[in-house]
Amino acid sequence: MFVILVYDTAVERNPKVLKTCRKYLHWTQRSVFQGELSAAQYRALMAALGTVIDPEYDSIVTYTARSPEMVESATLGVALGGPGDIL
């Protein structure tokens, strides 16, 4: 599946969140990762993040699609990381 992950976590937990996300996904922009994962990898990533974040304070949103072809990405301005067509 194609996964877009956006995190909004406290500064002191960002390094662990980043390290965990980087194991599974590519960095796209300041607080965004994306990549292709199996369902098992997705569950493993969510479980790992669950041990890293404070669920009372932090927030991680994922968007998943069955395949990357179902989602088009585009960038306006600076293309920071990862793929994406420049508008």
The three-state secondary structure class of 26 is strand
Total residues binding a copy of itself (CB under 8 A): 39
| Least distance between a copy of itself and beta carbon 20 (Å) | 11
What span, in angstroms and rounded, lies between the C-alpha atoms of 80 and 77?
9
What is the length of the chain?
87
Which residue in the set 18, 41, 44, 79 belongs to the binding site for a copy of itself (CB under 8 A)?
Answer: 79
Per CB under 8 A, does 22 bind a copy of itself?
A: no
> Considering only residues 18, 26, 44, 71, which one is a binding residue for a copy of itself as defined by CB under 8 A?
71
Alpha-carbon gap, residue 44 to 22, rounded angstroms: 13
